[in-house]
Amino acid sequence: MPCCPRLMPVFVLPAVALVAFAAPVPKVAVVPISPTNAAQVRVLDEVDRRADRITRGPGKGELTVLDRTAGAEVLDENTLRPLRKPVKDAHPITLATSPDGKLVAWTERNKTTYTVFRTDTDKSFDIELKDDPDHAAFSPDSKLLAIGSTFWDPRAEGAGHTEVRLFDATGKLLRTLARSGAGSAKPVFSPDGKTLAVSNRNYEPRLFDVATGKLLHVLDKKMTQEVAFSPDGKVLATAHVDGTLALWDTATGKELRSAASGCKELYSVDWSPKGDVLVTSGRQGPIVLWEPGRLAKLKELDAPAWVIQARFVSDGTRFITSSALDLSAKSGRKFTIWGLPNNK
């Protein structure tokens, strides 16, 4: 019988050598947006999608988006791929998720209740407010739920009051905070959970001590849309109906500085994770990146007529805006992803 030809090593060895000495694929460094590179920020991508509100979390690398028509959905913050729906068989108009992801609270149109759903037990309960529900927020430790509501007095146009109530995770009322004039209230906890800021569409924002419910400060500027604490909790940024961005010392309640955003109405304000950049958006004006120390504009970005939300992702490398082409917010709805060219 003839011998087997010895050809196999000739073909195997070169293949092994190619794998062993293949050049590694170089990695491109992904860096956060900062005051030194903000001028380079540009559009990275656009996605046809509606959203009235974008919040980070509840999980790492996740965003929760809420559209009052389509409902709520949790997305991957890097790909914007849908991951899950936090609320089933409901159409929330406001929604809050606890940082630990175990609680979801929402209200629906024409209701006076907030529903709280426990994801770990698949059980829910209702909190009766009696007044018109506003926005809600969970504390950083997920143990408290702040819910705003507004009573509109039918006897006089524009009359009534707004108040915020604090509940524990079982729905037990702990305390009711001091009332202000009628408007849409948005409660926001400080990063350490000790202070609660409450914005009011018609009146001044307020700061409360969470442990006691004591009113700490009334900030001296009316008609606030969104408020946001700096990552260290020492400064509160407020977006105002007249287009002004203001910064406040949370310890004293004193204004640190303010500036015109260029928008006819400012809707949204958010801090980068390091606290060294602010982003604002609103109606009929630019999206602006700010250096908070001097409240100086780092970059103005051309924007559609209506940009209701601007949110940094968790690592600060990009931010996402939700916009529409017209003020009715019905046409050209989209997400725009902004960042540095190398972060794409």
3-class SS at 266? strand
Q: What percent of the chain has pLDDT over 70?
A: 91
Residue 101 domain-assigned? yes
Residue 321 pLDDT more than 90? yes
The segment with the largest mean pLDDT, out of 17-21, 309-313, 339-343, is 309-313
Cis preceding-peptide flag for 32 (omega within 30 of 0):
no
Contacts 24+ apart (CB under 8 A), 245-251: 245/269, 245/278, 245/280, 245/288, 245/290, 245/295, 246/219, 246/221, 247/292, 247/295, 248/219, 250/190, 250/195, 250/197, 250/207, 250/217
User: Which band of pLDDT confidence, cut at 50, 70 and 90, is reported for residue 131?
Assistant: very high
Mean pLDDT value of segment 187-203: 97
Query: DSSP letter at 341?
Result: G
Calpha distance 53→107 (Å, rounded): 14
Residue 19 pLDDT more than 70? no
Residues 143-188: tens digit of each pLDDT: 999 999 999 888 777 788 999 999 999 999 999 999 999 988 999 9
DSSP codes of every residue in 109-128: TT-SEEEEEETTTTEEEEEE
Instruction: Count the domains in the chain.
Output: 1
Residue 205 domain-assigned? yes
Record the tokens describing residue 68, joined without a space.
């009052």
**Quick one: pLDDT at residue 53?**
94
3-class SS at 175? strand
Written as one letter, the residue type at 162 is T
* C-alpha distances out from residue 152 to 112, 148, 159, 196, 201, Å: 13, 13, 6, 23, 14
The overall longest dimension of the chain from CA atoms, in Å, is 111
**Quick one: pLDDT at residue 159?**
82
- Of the candidates 146, 162, 84, the residue with the CA atom closest to the CA atom of residue 114: 146
Domain of 213, CATH number, reads 2.130.10.10
Residue 253 domain-assigned? no
Domain carrying residue 202: 87-218
User: Which band of pLDDT confidence, cut at 50, 70 and 90, is reported for residue 67?
Assistant: very high
Mean pLDDT value of segment 189-205: 96
3-class SS at 303? coil
pTM for this structure? 0.89
Say which residues have a Cβ less than 8 Å from residue 82's Cβ, sequence separation at least 6: 73, 74, 75
Residue 248 domain-assigned? no
Contact 101, 58 (CB under 8 A): yes
Written as one letter, the residue type at 85 is K
- β 113-118/103-108 pair status: antiparallel
Mean pLDDT value of segment 322-336: 91
User: Which band of pLDDT confidence, cut at 50, 70 and 90, is reported for residue 102?
Assistant: very high
Mean pLDDT value of segment 250-258: 98
Calpha distance 320→338 (Å, rounded): 6
Mean pLDDT value of segment 336-341: 95
Average pLDDT score over the chain: 90
User: Which band of pLDDT confidence, cut at 50, 70 and 90, is reported for residue 344?
Assistant: low
**Quick one: pLDDT at residue 15?**
41
Record the tokens describing residue 295, joined without a space.
């409240």
13: number of Cβ within 10 Å: 10
**Quick one: pLDDT at residue 76?**
95
Residue 201 domain-assigned? yes
**Quick one: pLDDT at residue 177?**
97
